[in-house]
């Protein structure tokens, strides 16, 4: 499995990234239509958490088969694979929204596991303004090139890199503004926010579409968010002074 994937510049259309989907693919389709997404030339990159909690998780294979749709795995893909491979208890997965997969037969579970396990942990996309990186939760290094080398097998002795990419909330929990060098921006999800939170050059775009919020789409060339960021609104889901 190639854990790191690079995409050349899109010379014909636009590239977008979207926050956590959690089985709300019909709602995602409506968000794409709202920005005039053209599947003939445009591309959509997902920060992961495609499955669990929502009503349409089983559509994930259909979406991953679309030539214009590309995704990294989130912690919920990690849990789905572990459950299908019987390394995660049924009750723990059910507590995290996995009822859709527990209802499948053994062969169906295996099919989902194979597809989700093969997703690249990180993606980088060339744009006219520079590289944009995509991971689910966080880049655990100060530089993007270190993450690229770690996931490409060029560095030894590094542990828990994939887990950090899929599970870590340390950057946003501490409101770390340091950013990641060697890349124009890093797009992540994982931690639901009322609107996108920009910490250094790291954009947190899980705006809770699965929990009554909305999908945020970010244009990778311009870094413009749709809907736009409201500078008067706090990004945290909870009101703070």
Residue 83 contacts residue 102 (beta carbons within 8 Å): yes
**For residue range 211-240, what is the model confidence (pLDDT) as tens digits?**
999 999 999 999 999 999 998 888 987 654
Is the previous residue joined to 164 through a cis bond, with omega within 30 degrees of 0?
A: no
Q: Is residue 192 part of a domain?
A: yes
The pTM of the full predicted model, rounded to 2 decimals, is 0.96
Q: Identify the domain containing residue 48 by its residue range.
A: 4-73+120-226
Q: CATH number of the domain at 196, please.
A: 3.60.21.10
What is the 3-class SS of 59-116, one letter each residue? HHHHHHCCCCEEECCCHHHHHHHHHHCCCCCHHHHHHCCCHHHHCCCHHHHHHHHHHH
The domain total for the chain is: 1
Out of 22, 70, 76, 204, which one is annotated catalytic? 76
> Does a structural domain hold residue 95?
no
51 Cβ partners below 8 Å, 6+ apart? 21, 22, 23, 57, 60, 76, 77, 80, 100, 101, 116
User: Roughly how many angstroms between the first and final C-alpha of the chain, as a whole number?
Assistant: 46
What span, in angstroms and rounded, lies between the C-alpha atoms of 176 and 157? 26
115 domain-assigned: no
Residue 115's CB is within 10 A of a number of other CB atoms, namely 16
**Is residue 172 included in any domain, yes or no?**
yes
Active-site residue, 76 included? yes
Mean pLDDT (10-residue bins), the chain, 241 residues? 92 97 98 98 98 97 98 97 95 96 96 96 97 98 96 78 95 95 98 96 97 96 96 77 40
In a domain, 88, yes or no: no
User: Residue 82: inside a domain, yes or no?
Assistant: no
Query: Does 80 reside within a domain?
Result: no
- Does residue 78 belong to any structural domain of this protein? no
217 - beta bridge partners? Answer: 18, 226
Residue 85, number of CB atoms within 10 A of its CB: 12
Strand partners, 124: 6, 133
For residue 15, the cross-strand partners are 43
The two tokens of residue 68 are: 């214009």
């Amino acid at each position: 499995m190639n854990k790191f994937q690079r995409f050349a510049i899109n010379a014909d259309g636009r590239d977008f990234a979207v926050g956590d989907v959690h089985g709300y693919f019909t709602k995602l389709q409506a968000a794409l239509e709202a920005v005039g997404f053209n599947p003939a030339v445009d591309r959509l990159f997902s920060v992961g958490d495609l499955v669990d909690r929502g009503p349409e998780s089983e559509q994930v294979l259909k979406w991953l088969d679309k030539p214009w749709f590309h995704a990294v795995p989130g912690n919920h893909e990690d849990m789905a694979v572990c459950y299908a491979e019987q390394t995660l208890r049924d009750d723990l997965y059910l507590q995290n929204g996995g009822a859709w997969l527990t209802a499948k037969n053994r062969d169906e579970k295996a099919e989902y596991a194979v597809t989700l396990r093969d997703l690249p942990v990180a993606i980088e996309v060339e744009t006219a303004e520079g590289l944009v990186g995509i991971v689910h939760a966080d880049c655990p290094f100060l530089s993007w090139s270190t993450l690229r080398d770690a996931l490409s097998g060029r560095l030894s002795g590094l542990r828990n890199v994939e887990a950090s990419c899929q599970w870590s909330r340390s950057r946003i929990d501490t409101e770390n503004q340091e950013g990641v060098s060697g890349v124009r921006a890093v797009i992540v999800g994982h931690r639901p926010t009322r609107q996108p939170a920009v910490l250094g050059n790291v954009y947190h775009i899980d705006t809770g579409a699965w929990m009554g919020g909305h999908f945020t789409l970010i244009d990778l060339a311009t870094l413009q968010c749709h809907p736009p960021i409201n500078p008067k609104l706090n990004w945290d889901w909870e009101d703070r002074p």
